[in-house]
Amino acid sequence: MTVPGRWSPLPPPGRLRTLALATLANTVGSGLWLAGAPLYLSRDVGLSAASVGLGLTLAGLLGLTAAVPLGGLADRRDPRTLRALLQLLQAAVAGAYLLVASFPAFLVVAVLDALLTAGNLAVRAALVAAVGGPEGRVQAFATLRAVANLGIALGAGLAGFALAADTHLAYQVLVVGNATTYLVSAALLMRLPGYPPPAAPARPATSGRARALRDLPFLAVSGASAVLALHATVLTLVVPLWTVSRTGAPPAVVSAVLLVNTSLTVLLAVRLARGSDTAAPAAAAMRRAGLVLAVAMLLYAATTGMPAGPATGLLLLATAVYTVGDLWHSTAGAGLAYGLAAPKSIGAYQGVDGLLAGLTRAVGPALLTWAVLDGGVAGWCALALLFALVGLLVPTLTRRALALGAGQAANDLPAPAPRAGARRRAAGRP
């Protein structure tokens, strides 16, 4: 598998580049919508901030229900075609925001959007596995992570023009622009070859979805990774609020913090993914991620009450450390989710992994604002301890999952055909 060039996150020409370009188009739209949606829904549609928050929370929770079934569908259908179809549906739903004029209408559209988004993430994981192959899928995942960060940054920058204009027409253009990026992404996806699933076995086996949901060792590892995924809420919610309320740093530092994270992600995502292609080394990377994230939490805690200059410098340093842990976690999580999955149920397992991560994203804002913003330095230290302990636990959980998985794989093999002599004895012949 090819990897990106030295200065560009885009890989050389080939299937991965086509997928990367589709990701870039998709995430430019994501950046447009993430930056512009709150103001569009409040200033143009007229919804209250509380209504927007409630609607997005409810939609996010309901949307998680689509991850496992659509991931399982990607194991039985071509993930390229399935994802392109989902992108077309997302384009229609994104455009439907133009019709929203009340909270009930907003909730309906937001729920449809969340269902398609959660399902699309699971299907995307199956498509990445198909494009990258067993030995290149984690590197492909890291490449797309870098490209996605670049796309979101570009989209957020473009959204600034609509936000600066602050007119009904400008917001409409923003919504249409987001919908259009889904169409472009779908068209690019269809330039990839098809990836039909292997022929079905003669005897129906347990469905991939049911197997993934009953695979307790996999659930334990995925659950540990989901706990570490709480760090995403730290960067996007807790650090901005902490910066303006508990340190002397100016509010503009929040933008600098996000810029450091985005820039380092684009530059380092592929490099830090190396060595996480299989489960055992991915578990070691997850252990490093937990320990590095713990150090970052302690650095954030140390900014308490600092004046502007030192607080700014330490916040940026903490974010650089955080980003290394973040990248190790994301690529190690992909390596574990792929490496511990049943080979014929990649999509279903990715759906379950996404479901667990989604649950932590749902509870993260309330949990971490209470623990850190109310708990102060003690809250940061407790969070650091949690990340360190979970990271240290992952290799043990992974070894157990690998051992039990090998036994389950042996049980799944067809029974050997009896020898001729055994067949004759069973039939009563000498």
Q: What is the pLDDT of residue 409?
A: 40
Q: Which two tokens stand for residue 401?
A: 């999952």
CATH of the domain at 320: 1.20.1250.20
Look-up of token digits 């969070």 = 383
Q: Is residue 427 part of a domain?
A: no
Question: Domain range spanning residue 240?
Answer: 208-408
Tell whether 55 and 121 lie within a shared domain.
yes
CA 67 to chain centre: 12
Q: What is the pLDDT of residue 72?
A: 87
Q: Is residue 387 part of a domain?
A: yes
Residue of 322, 358, 324 whose CA lies nearest to 71: 358
d(CA 53, CA 390): 30
d(CA 285, CA 328): 6
Tell whether 177 and 100 lie within a shared domain.
yes
Q: What is the pLDDT of residue 35?
A: 78
pLDDT tens for the 430 residues of the chain, in order: 444 545 567 888 899 999 999 999 999 998 888 878 888 888 899 988 778 878 888 888 898 888 888 888 888 889 999 999 999 999 999 999 999 999 999 999 999 999 999 888 889 988 998 998 888 888 888 899 889 989 988 988 888 888 888 899 999 999 999 999 999 999 999 999 998 876 554 444 455 677 888 899 999 999 999 999 999 989 888 998 899 889 999 888 887 888 899 889 989 988 898 888 889 999 999 999 999 999 999 999 999 999 999 999 999 999 999 999 999 999 999 999 999 998 888 888 988 998 999 898 888 888 888 999 889 999 999 999 999 999 999 999 999 999 887 434 433 434 444 444 443 333 333 3
Tell whether 247 and 314 lie within a shared domain.
yes
Q: Is residue 9 part of a domain?
A: no
| Total count of domains within the chain | 2
- Predicted TM-score (pTM) of the model is 0.79
Enclosing H/E stretch for 30: helix 15-39
Tell whether 168 and 280 lie within a shared domain.
no
Domain boundary among 160, 195, 230: 195
Domain boundary among 195, 225, 252: 195
Tell whether 328 and 266 lie within a shared domain.
yes
d(CA 115, CA 119): 6
Q: Is residue 421 part of a domain?
A: no
Tell whether 177 and 249 lie within a shared domain.
no
Tell whether 157 and 247 lie within a shared domain.
no
